[in-house]
Amino acid sequence: MSECVFCKIVNKEIPADIIYEDEQIMAFKDIAPQAKVHVLIIPKEHIHSNLYFEGRHKPVIGHLILKANEIAKKLGIADTGYRLIVNTGKHSGQEVFHVHWHLLGGEPLGRLVCK
């Protein structure tokens, strides 16, 4: 069994407020939101960080980005704008080592850097 918290969410071993899911990816609300809208979008495959993407992941990366647009529209934050952040490694403050995109919006974000 995986010790990764996001793998546990993917496997439904721990609950999350899931707002989108398909065979490849999942989107769920961040447990400690840093903006009115704060969603995490992840590949279901366990990938340590952005650094660990390989050529074979190009389709899922594209899928994630396009789905972020769809989710932003669905949540009503597309027109006012949003921010996508991928913390990568120690200096970024990455805490969960299962790659994820933070989708933030719903209010002016200012200099918020999701840390």
Please report, as ranges, the residues that interact with ligand 5GP according to CB under 6 A: 5, 16, 28-32, 40, 87, 93-96
Report which secondary-structure segment, H or E, holds 42.
strand 37-43
Q: How far is the CB of 104 from ligand 5GP (least distance, A)?
A: 10
Alpha carbons 17 and 6: distance in angstroms, whole number: 12
- For 8, half-sphere exposure in the C-beta direction (CA atoms, 13 angstrom radius) is 11
Give the tokens for residue 103. Answer: 């989708």
From Zn ion, ligand 5GP, none, interface partner of 30 (C-beta below 5 to 8 A by class): ligand 5GP
Residue 115: how many CB atoms within 10 A of its CB?
Answer: 11
Residue 52 or 79 with smaller CB distance to ligand 5GP: 52
Residue for token pair 């495959």? 45
Residue 51 or 59 with smaller CB distance to ligand 5GP: 51
Interacting residue ranges for Zn ion, rule: CB under 5 A = 4, 6-7, 46, 98
Instruction: Choose the catalytic residue: 48, 98, 100, 102.
Output: 100
Q: Is position 91 annotated as part of the catalytic site?
A: no
Give catalytic residues, as residue numbers. Answer: 100
